[in-house]
Amino acid sequence: MASEIFEHLKKIDENRWRIPKDTKPGMQVDGVVYADEKLLKDIRQDKALEQVANVAFLPGIVNASFAMPDIHWGYGFPIGGVAATDPENGGVVSPGGVGFDINCGVRLVKTNLEYEEIKDKIRELTLNLFHAVPSGVGSKGEIKVSVKEEREIMVKGSRWAVSEGYGVAEDLEATEERGAISGADPDAVSERAYERGKAQSGTLGSGNHFIEVQVIDKIYDGEVADAFGLSEGLIAVMIHSGSRGFGYQVCDDYLKTMGRCLLKYGINVPDRQLAAAPVNSPEAQAYLAAMRAAANYAWNNRQCLMHLTRKAFERTFKKSWQTMGMDLLYDVAHNIAKLEKHKVNGKEKTLCVHRKGATRAFPPGHPELPVQYQKTGQPVIIPGDMGRNSYLLVGTEKAAETFYSTCHGAGRVKSRTAATKAFDSNKLVNDLEAQGIYVMASSRATIAEEAPLAYKDVNDVVRVVHEAGISRRVCRMRPLGVIKG
């Protein structure tokens, strides 16, 4: 079917392609794929395009089933998929449109450190970060919480960490949803999820999660960069993690519930992984309450990780993090479903927006943005791979066409299994070090899984969303020191 979908693609312009809704009987809307000719060659290698078409079957879906240029095959939805449904017209919520790592996301910490003044300490800094931050499968952190505190984290999110001394109030203002989305209900969460989450606050996890020390090497928009306090040669830190085993368990629990909802509510989808329930149903409301608890857990986790990162910098450079200007620029979620107001045919409606491997990209003046970003638009943080670049962009008004969404990263072209077979971890470490990039991981297998060539080139991905106008480049960073999960 993937090749059949490819044959139906219609070119809209240099960076957009349409999957007509008559491609598969039952599609409610078109599919729209953001990609250029080069990226399409990678995209057609798996079944992601078929998944874009399948998402278009969801009841109440509005406008189109969208795919960002980092799209690749996932559970139900493709990773890089965006879909909004209208609760007033039978719109559903689907856990497959959020994913297992609920609120996997990324934050960017700026500094006033210049590359030239710290370049001889990158190896030491990388080692200190590795020792400070627990990483790997099943990793457990020093930040221990009781069941009572875990319940508080599910409601308070990053606010819990700040109240415990793991950050400052300004961090909350620079976090999506100010670090805690409302409507979380700890009672909607299973005991198994509680058990998996209680020892994982302040842990990086495994797979593509990372902490990366970077240097800004190119400015695209000087005015916005100045507003953010960024300039070429400055050091920044990117932190990428999510809700760990807690969020995975929440998703796993509710997939079973949603599977039963297909028959109960007469929902017809071509893939059971798209199991869903009407947004206003008790099953969907329970899932959303648990998902929000997991999202808040993830925001708290990244806040704790930033605290540990600041401490590692203090240990390395013998200065306070405040003296080094280690302020949070922004934190964005990549895997989440949110009720947001958007215009549909000129009328404002509340929609359930699924972003799975996609980043919110609100424009200048959006009422949900904090004061400091009202003029610039929302910071959009796009990590690449550990051998190439990462980017900072801002949201645009044109992104209204994707419900203010853009890409979230480079996107895999090789599965983890294929990458492990194709790449030698020792050679990768040596090759990266020859480029001035120091990499540490809890296992050598992780390094092979995360090889740069296992991913699309993030420079291509970002160019597409920039040229399509759904987000705008501000600056580019290159990696110096990388901690992998």
Alpha helices in 328-374 (DSSP H): none
Tell me the two tokens of residue 227: 């507003």
Which residues, in sequence order, are CB contacts of 52 under 8 Å at separation 6+? 5, 19, 31, 33, 65, 66, 67, 71, 78, 81
Residue type for position 234: L
Q: Is 8 a catalytic residue?
A: no
Residue owning tokens 């219609």: 10
How many angstroms separate the first and last alpha carbons of the chain? 35
Residue 290 CA to chain centroid, in angstroms? 19
Positive/negative CA dihedral, 51, 56, 59, 61: positive
Tell me the two tokens of residue 102: 């609920």
**At CA 99, angle to CA 448 and CA 308, rounded to 5?**
60
Q: Check if the beta carbon of residue 483 is closer than 8 Å to that of residue 446.
A: no
Instruction: Measure Cα distances from 241 to 244, 405, 416 in Å.
Output: 8, 20, 18
Cβ-count burial 102-141 (b if 16+ within 10 Å, e if not): bbbbbbbbbbebebeebeeebebbbbbbbebbbbbeebeb
Positive/negative CA dihedral, 359, 362, 368, 369: positive
- Which one of the listed residues 72, 209, 408, 466 is annotated catalytic? 408
Q: Give catalytic residue positions.
A: 408
